[in-house]
Structure 1
Amino acid sequence: MTENSENSLKVARQGFEHFTQGLATGEWQAFLDVLTEDFTFWFPTGKFQGLNVGKERAREFFQYVSASFPGGIILTLDRFTSNETTVVFEFHDEGVLFGLPYKNRVAVSFDVCGNKICGYREYFGSDGKSSLDN
């Protein structure tokens, strides 16, 4: 593993810990602090479908996620893979979405630029209700 790969993995794993805490508690500031100002993210459905740009847009998105899951989301990491600049985390999660039981399989990809996360992409499966279309 190269030095760049090791740094990317370290930054992404720390970011993923903050991401996990945000999902569980609705407290996103620690995760937002590790994002670049020009952070981009891609989400597959709903109000934030497609490419979104900027840290403020990310703040809106993660607040929306927390409002959609008022009791939080608990996730279990299944595996991760990485290269020089990107780390992909695969996990399953569960909670209550808009008052209905929710279970899903998800992959999130973090792009690392230096010591910050500059990009995020999310993909999810079909273990249950899996969209934030409401």
Structure 2
Amino acid sequence: MTDFQEILNIAQAAFADFAAGLANGDWQPFLDRLSNDVTFWFPAGPFKGHNQGKEKIAAFLAMVPQVFPGGLTLEVVQITSNATTVVFEVRSTGRMGSEPYENQAAIAFDLRDGQICAYREYLGVVFQLGQ
């Protein structure tokens, strides 16, 4: 692909678009950064497990306003990366339905040819248990 710093820059730009989508519902800039064969993994809900394709991830992201009507705000705590994967450890805040919501998560992007080819999200166990 490209050099290490360029991979990190591409991932950070994609993450900024992802965070903006969570905040304002405009997912197109993030979707434009995905490969057509993108895969994603999510730990809960109707998209739990392994999923594939831009259309499937667009359907997943379209559910965000139903779960978080006011959007979510992400704060990056730490970034870890290697030659093909960048992981963002984040704190998220918002409202889930009518209740306050806070969580910590890790969001991983795999890169290939300047695009995100895989996205994985790992959430705090409290959310996964529904408590």
TM-score, normalised to structure 2, is 0.92
Report Cα offsets for 1:53-85 as digits up to 9, x if no partner.
Answer: 000000000011232111010111101010000
**CA contact 2:36–2:53 (8 Å) conserved in 1:** yes
Gaps of 5+ in 2: none
Alignment partners' CA distance in 1, 2:28 and 2:66: 15
**CA contact 1:79–1:89 (8 Å) conserved in 2:** yes
Gaps of 5+ in 1: none
**CA contact 2:70–2:95 (8 Å) conserved in 1:** yes
> Which secondary structure state, in structure 1, belongs to the residue aligned with residue 23 of structure 2?
helix
Aligned residue-pair number: 129
Alignment partners' CA distance in 2, 1:10 and 1:76: 17
Which range moved further: 64-73 or 80-89?
64-73
Name the counterpart of 1:48: 47
> Which secondary structure state, in structure 2, belongs to the residue aligned with residue 27 of structure 1?
coil
The Cα of 1:99 is off from its aligned counterpart by: 1.8
The Cα of 1:101 is off from its aligned counterpart by: 1.2
Which 4+ residue blocks in structure 1 deviate beyond 4 angstroms? none
Name the counterpart of 1:107: 106
Alignment partners' CA distance in 1, 2:84 and 2:65: 28
The Cα of 1:10 is off from its aligned counterpart by: 1.2
Pairwise CA RMSD: 1.6
Name the counterpart of 1:12: 11
Amino acid at match of 2:66: A
TM-score, normalised to structure 1, is 0.90
Q: Within the alignment, does 1:78 sit opposite 2:70 as a pair?
A: no
Amino acid at match of 1:72: G
